[in-house]
Copies of this chain bind each other. A is one copy, B any other.
Amino acid sequence: MEKIKPRTLSGFMELLPKEQMLFEEMVSILKETYSLYGFSPLDTPLIEASDVLLAKGGGETEKQIYRFTKGDSDLSLRFDLTVPLARYVAQHSAELTFPFRRYQIGKVYRGERAQRGRFREFYQADIDIIGDEKLDIMNEAEIPSIIYRAFTKLGLRRFRIRINNRKILNGFFAILGLSEIAPEIMRTIDKLEKIGAEKVTAMLLEMGVSNENAAKIIEFIGTTGDSAAVIESLNKYKGQNELFDLGASELETVVTNMRGFGVPDDFFTVDLTIARGLDYYTGTVYETVMLDHPEIGSVCSGGRYDNLAEYYTDRKLPGVGISIGLTRLFFVLGDRNLLNPEYPASVSDVLIIPMTDDMAPAVKLATEFRENGVRAQIYTEKKKFKAKIGYADKLNIPYAVFLGEDEIANGSATVKNMKTGEQNTLPFSDAVCAVKNAILSFEKTTVICE
């Protein structure tokens, strides 16, 4: 029979078992963290009606969509988790309780040009808090603390959350009389770090900003120093524009309460260059950078918006949210050797190796292990001893248990620590206890080792 070459499509990540276990551990830490903050899980279909998914329409995204017909239906694969959230909240608003806190970790699809580290199918891990008509500023202070806790739990040590408030930028541009081109200016200054002040100035001039105003903008967004200093620097602009003043006051509230929520000063900074490309954001905006890997760009971004679902409903649904591009993050962590090689990504805690034909004692022991919460498997294949122990070795299984004739006769089992080589023959129930206790005492290491 002619064989079809087994292969995955370019831009689609697929992991081997050990990597997959690390990835799953990351997902489970995110879920656990989001749950601690009262977010409920959400799962929406991967396929949506095209008119629903593309209600906003236009733009770069539309070209990248996986769109197709089935029967009479014009269908599309979701390209993010925000549009499905908007659709969900609008559709079920009568049945939801607001503020509605949800997390969603799921795959999204973008037919981008394939290149290293870019994926066409990738996980996003999103949290959003949606209010009904209003949403308190405190939520904007809480979001960074969730990121801080999640990243720290994953093992990241060298990251910083950058925050800004678009009201400050919009207010400042209004003071300069540049409100009409504020969105373009926003998109330009967002590139400051990448392309430098000179190029940003050139771009500003090109879009019709005067020399004087361009210099003012560069001076304004270039304010550096600790968060207190940057906030302090805003004072001299106050009293000229309401929006600006509101933004400055929001930023102060967010910074003060972020500390209360437990984000240490070393892990965040106020950065007036952060604008986020999307017009959608109206208040606080966030980006998160890995200090030793700035080339990666932001690994967790988001912000405050005033109108989540305007394409679907008249109801005003403001919110704040943040998204982690999980597949890309996992890829770069692996690529930069930041995944912990010592992380105990083993499929089992113990491998039971029967040395006789009678499997009954092995079955009994496996069942006892499992009833005690110890992940156990029996090596049932009829192979040489070397192959059996090699299986435990290859899969990093920390304990092997031998059941030979002597052991069976005495109701005992020989437990081998695969790392140290140490082995002890113990009564059945003691063997179960010994492995159970050893597993529980494993020092909790983190997935990421930075």
What is the CB-to-nearest-CB distance from A253 to chain B, in angstroms, rounded to a whole number?
9
What is the CB-to-nearest-CB distance from A16 to chain B, in angstroms, rounded to a whole number?
6
Residues of B within 8 A of A109 (CB): 47
Q: Does A14 contact B (CB under 8 A)?
A: yes
Contact A377 B347, beta carbon cutoff 8 Å: no
Per-residue 0/1 for A360-375: is the Cβ within 8 Å of any B Cβ (1 yes, 0 no)?
1001101100100111
**Given that A40-B20, A41-B21, A43-B14 are known contacts, is A381 also in contact with B121, CB under 8 Å in the complex?**
no
**Given that A12-B47, A37-B377, A45-B14 are known contacts, is A90 also in contact with B6, CB under 8 Å in the complex?**
yes
Per-residue 0/1 for A381-399: is the Cβ within 8 Å of any B Cβ (1 yes, 0 no)?
1100000000100110000
> Among the listed B55, B107, B136, B347, which residue makes an inter-chain contact with A46, where contact means beta carbons less than 8 Å apart?
B107
The segment from A68-76, A288-296, A333-341 found at the interface with B is: A68-76
Q: Does A9 contact B (CB under 8 A)?
A: yes
Residues of B within 8 A of A52 (CB): 4-7
Q: Which of A24, A51, A69 has the most CB of B within 10 A?
A: A24
Q: Does A309 contact B (CB under 8 A)?
A: yes
Closest B residue to A73 using CB positions = B9
* A/B interface sample: 21 pairs, CB < 8 A: A3-B313, A4-B312, A5-B312, A7-B49, A8-B44, A9-B45, A16-B95, A17-B102, A20-B43, A24-B41, A37-B376, A38-B375, A46-B121, A47-B66, A66-B70, A66-B75, A99-B381, A101-B377, A131-B381, A134-B382, A260-B359
Q: Does A48 contact B (CB under 8 A)?
A: yes
Closest B residue to A18 using CB positions = B40
- Chain A residues with a Cβ under 8 A of chain B: 1, 3-9, 12-17, 20-21, 23-24, 35-49, 51-52, 55, 66, 68-71, 73, 75, 86-88, 90-92, 95-97, 99-102, 107, 109, 111, 121, 131, 134-136, 138-139, 141-142, 145, 149, 257, 260-262, 309-314, 347-348, 351, 359-360, 363-364, 366-367, 370, 373-378, 380-382, 391, 394-395
Contact A363 B4, beta carbon cutoff 8 Å: no
Residues of B within 8 A of A100 (CB): 17
Residues of B within 8 A of A311 (CB): 1, 3-4
Closest B residue to A12 using CB positions = B45
Q: A6-B87, A14-B88, A40-B347 are in contact. List 5 more A-B contacts (CB 8 A).
A: A5-B312, A12-B47, A16-B92, A20-B43, A99-B381
Residues of B within 8 A of A75 (CB): 9, 66
Residues of B within 8 A of A7 (CB): 49, 52, 87, 91
**Given that A38-B347, A347-B101, A381-B136 are known contacts, is A8 also in contact with B121, CB under 8 Å in the complex?**
no
Residues of B within 8 A of A111 (CB): 70-71
What is the CB-to-nearest-CB distance from A149 to chain B, in angstroms, rounded to a whole number?
7
**Given that A40-B21, A91-B6, A375-B37 are known contacts, is A394 also in contact with B359, CB under 8 Å in the complex?**
no
Please measure, in the bound complex, the distance between the C-alpha atom of A41 and the C-alpha atom of B52, giving whole angstroms.
Answer: 33
Please measure, in the bound complex, the distance between the C-alpha atom of A373 and the C-alpha atom of B36, giving whole angstroms.
Answer: 7
Closest B residue to A4 using CB positions = B55
Contact B66 A68, beta carbon cutoff 8 Å: yes
Residues of B within 8 A of A99 (CB): 380-381
Q: Which of A1, A38, A109, A351 has the most CB of B within 10 A?
A: A38
> Among the listed B36, B46, B364, B378, which residue makes an inter-chain contact with A376, where contact means beta carbons less than 8 Å apart?
B36
